[in-house]
Structure 1
């Protein structure tokens, strides 16, 4: 028969890994208020068209009812390759000039809206960064078996020593 103390020690000495809930703090606001860096080039560099073709999730067609001037969008790129510098780059044609603008990708909880204006393509950020909760696999670093055995033996020795001290205190203290 397995004694309760054996079950207790077995449960105490085993390691566990499980899913835990992790709260990711909100990032700083994406709004950029400094003037943009401007580079003037003599020729238009070609747009690199590589990667794997993808289809849109949703398509909505509107009749032309906008009162704004129109611009021709050559391409739009969302670059998330560098986690510290995620950007949205748009290249628009207005008359005989082509303007490429790069915006900072918004944080979780924010939205960026790009639209045409007299000076070309403009952007706005609305919303506020928010915390988010995600499930993450958490586990301890797996030590070699001999290191775990040594640690568990030390813990077992400490428990036995504590039980021995408790026994001695109970026997030496009158009236207990």
Structure 2
């Protein structure tokens, strides 16, 4: 089964937050690409006050464990760019694959606001899966539905309206 997209046009993307969950990736890309566990050195993964997803920033002697999504098409990268919105900047970084220790150049999404007072601590994927994954999948489905519309909203707006509706529902209960 050959792909019509030349291999050189494909991207490898290091993910470290909600995109570690195959279910979220499947909603956004309509498939789960091959992936490989990887470490990004000299970065730290923060929690963000008021958000359920993390941010990474360069910090010496720290590391972020995540995975590399392999062979992402230019169209899929556009979806990820839109999903990450303008809070993140796509950058090229070096990661180390955990199974081979091979160094690989990949794209990843780095938090734009380097002095953001809302960043704290360390984000925990296991806790996110337990507490937030189901809602995040629903929000991501809403994002993809919005994306089909001519006047689609950026992800932050979708995120805020989704969680606002959820808060309204819970306060009425």
Shared fold (TM-score, shorter chain, > 0.5): no
TM, length-normalised to structure 2: 0.19
Q: Greater CA radius of gyration, 1 or 2?
A: 1
